[in-house]
């Protein structure tokens, strides 16, 4: 009798386990049957449950994705745990899907880490496609897409560029800090009417720290919580919850970055001392219309915040890349300098109106964006509706990753891509030049393209032209007087910063130093 009861208890206790196994097998079968009816693009073989995650290295993932492209074609299908992913390794495929079919390819993956845990849920980069996205996009396009509006920012761009030159004359060893100040000075005045007056400005410092800590906390889609959202509920005392502690720390920085300058503009508006700015304009319009709700305030904070956080980091990266390239290729620098000397002459500094007369400089800057694409994998899009491309199924909910790095490194488009070579563009036809211009891919695609690309490109052009016109640039020296030759290397991260390097800046003459001082003084007074 006891034996019978023991057997019954054994059967009873085993039933839940058997049921669980049956459910798992059934779920796997259903998923198999569901996927079997689709014909996905070719890609690397995936393992059950983990998909292709085990094949991706921790660093420089764009290189592995490019390998997949060379093996399987420019449209690659992979799975990262349960999430299907479509990797685009050519400009043609990216344009066809994310621009020509943008109605289906403009959404964003959930980004649980960035949005829900870190608090970046009110910035355009992370908004799902919908009414709120269109609202932010409209504001930013009105502020940056119109040529007339962008031309209105030129006095600020000039003043901050001359301040950059002054800083390079006075303390060239701090050139990295001068670049951050330059980019922050331009953007903070446009976004908030705030003038940066020192290298250790508090708003610049907190925004930079926020950006750095966000990257340390995890790139978009890179953390397990993005693939298994239930992990967001893990208690802080449990092992493995360190990502949440870091995320909550970042969230406090994000609130400072968004709230502090916004409150500053609000106070200035109340006292009648507010300078013209993106934030002030939106606040005044909302007050006049009676629509300034808490939600509307958060939208203004997010729209203004993305101008600063997204705009400065990538712009500084482009300028660091420019300086690194010029240090390593001083023949290119001297050739660009000769062009500017010939066109501009010794009595003034380059200005926006000179751009069309400086074709070699244009080639240099194209090559800067190509040599080191600032955001190698862009920000992933998401597919909102099932699609078919080249006879292959693109499933709803798939993450779409444009491999911008490979689009700018493909040897079939750019022979010897590792070499910095502005001359590659010199003798192209107009059609070839347009097709190979890396600026057509590095700013993103479709309805998610960077709305400030014209403004950012103009800022980089003006700063680069004026550095070339006024500075001799070369290797720094060690204690024995030997050249310190920097490495042409870039960090692995969401934004591809050049690795830290040193170099030497010197004003070309005392006359040029005087011209810089004069232009700085005049533009401080008039802008």
User: pLDDT digits over 156-186, tens only?
Assistant: 999 999 999 999 999 999 999 999 999 999 9
The token pair that represents 78 in the structure block: 């992979």
Q: For position 526, what pLDDT does the model report?
A: 63
Residue 310: predicted pLDDT = 82
Alpha-carbon gap, residue 420 to 402, rounded angstroms: 23
User: What does the pLDDT read at residue 9?
Assistant: 36
Residue 455: what pLDDT? 95
Provide the pLDDT for residue 407.
98
pLDDT for res 219: 53
The pTM score is 0.90
**In angstroms, rounded to a whole number, what is the distance separating the alpha carbons of residues 380 and 78?**
14
Q: How many C-beta atoms lie closer than 10 Å to residue 352's C-beta?
A: 15
The residue ranges of every structural domain in the chain are: 39-526
Say if residue 450 carries a ligand binding annotation: yes
**Residues whose CB falls within 8 Å of the CB of residue 92, separated by 6 or more in sequence, listed in order:** 74
- The predicted pLDDT at position 382 comes to 97
Report the sign of the C-alpha dihedral through residues 217, 223, 229, 231, in that order.
negative
**Cα dihedral 124, 130, 132, 135 sign:** positive
CATH architecture observed for domain 39-526: Orthogonal Bundle (1.10)
CB 282 within 8 A of CB 298: no
pLDDT at 3: 37
Residues 6+ apart with CB under 8 A from 226: 109, 110, 111, 112, 113, 220
H or E element in which residue 474 lies: strand 471-474
Strand locations in 129-252, DSSP E?
Answer: none
CA distance 69 to 73: 5
pLDDT at position 36 is 55
Q: How far apart are CA 191 and CA 304, in angstroms?
A: 6
The per-residue pLDDT for 15 is: 46
- CA dist 479 and 192 (Å) reads 44
Conformational region of residue 393, where left means phi above 0, alpha means psi within -120 to 50, and beta covers everything else? beta
382 Cβ contact list (under 8 Å, min separation 6): 105, 107, 108, 109, 397, 398, 399, 400
User: Which stretches in the chain have pLDDT values below 50?
Assistant: 1-25, 27-30, 32-33, 220-222
Task: Look at the block and give the residue holding tokens 């240090």.
Answer: 327
Q: In the prediction, which pLDDT does 525 show?
A: 59
Q: What angle do CA 319, 324, 325 make, to 5 degrees?
A: 95
């Amino acid at each position: 009798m006891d034996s019978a009861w023991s057997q019954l208890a054994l059967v009873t206790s085993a039933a839940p386990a058997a049921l669980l196994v049956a459910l798992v097998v059934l779920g796997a079968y259903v998923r198999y049957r569901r996927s079997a009816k689709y014909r996905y693009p070719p890609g690397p073989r995936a393992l059950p449950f983990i998909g292709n995650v085990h094949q991706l290295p921790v660093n420089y993932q764009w290189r592995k994705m490019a390998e997949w492209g060379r093996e399987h074609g420019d449209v690659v299908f992979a799975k990262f745990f349960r999430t299907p992913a479509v990797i685009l390794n050519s400009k043609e495929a990216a344009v066809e899907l994310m621009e020509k079919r943008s109605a289906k390819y403009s959404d964003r993956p959930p980004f649980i880490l960035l949005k829900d845990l870190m608090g970046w849920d009110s910035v355009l980069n992370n908004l799902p496609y919908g009414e709120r996205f269109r609202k932010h996009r409209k504001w930013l396009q009105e502020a940056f897409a119109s040529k007339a509006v962008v031309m209105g920012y030129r006095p600020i761009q000039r003043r901050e560029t001359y301040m950059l030159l002054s800083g390079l004359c006075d303390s060239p060893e701090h050139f990295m800090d001068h670049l951050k100040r330059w980019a922050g000075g331009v953007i903070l005045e446009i976004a908030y009417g705030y003038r940066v007056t020192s290298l250790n400005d508090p708003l610049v410092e907190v925004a930079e720290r926020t950006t750095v800590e966000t990257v340390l906390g995890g790139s978009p889609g890179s953390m397990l919580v993005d693939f298994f959202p239930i992990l967001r509920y893990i208690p802080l005392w449990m092992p493995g919850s360190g990502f949440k502690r870091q995320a909550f720390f970042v969230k406090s920085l994000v609130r400072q970055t968004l709230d502090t300058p916004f409150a500053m503009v609000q106070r200035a508006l109340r006292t009648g001392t507010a300078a013209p700015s993106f934030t002030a304009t939106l606040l005044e319009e909302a007050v006049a219309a009676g629509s300034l709700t808490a939600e509307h305030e958060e939208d203004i904070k997010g729209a203004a915040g993305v101008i600063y956080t997204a705009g400065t980091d990538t712009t500084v990266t482009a300028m660091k890349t420019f300086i690194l390239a010029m240090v390593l290729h001083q023949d290119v620098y001297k050739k660009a300098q000769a062009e500017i000397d010939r066109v501009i002459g010794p009595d003034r500094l380059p200005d926006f109106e000179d751009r069309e007369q400086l074709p070699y400089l244009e080639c240099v800057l194209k090559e800067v964006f190509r040599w080191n694409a600032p955001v190698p994998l862009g920000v992933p899009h998401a597919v909102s509706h099932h699609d078919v491309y080249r006879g292959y199924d693109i499933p709803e909910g798939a993450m779409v990753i444009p491999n911008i790095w490979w689009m700018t490194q493909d040897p079939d488009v750019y022979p010897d891509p590792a070499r910095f070579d502005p001359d590659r563009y010199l003798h192209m036809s107009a059609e070839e030049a347009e097709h190979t211009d890396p600026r057509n891919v590095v700013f993103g695609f479709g309805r998610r393209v960077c709305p400030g690309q014209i403004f950012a490109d103009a800022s980089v052009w003006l700063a680069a032209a004026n550095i070339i016109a006024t500075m001799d640039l070369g290797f720094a020296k060690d204690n024995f007087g030997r050249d310190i030759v920097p490495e042409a290397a870039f960090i692995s991260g969401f934004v591809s910063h050049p690795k830290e390097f040193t170099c030497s800046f010197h004003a070309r003459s005392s006359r040029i130093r005087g011209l810089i001082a004069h232009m700085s003084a005049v533009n401080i007074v008039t802008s």
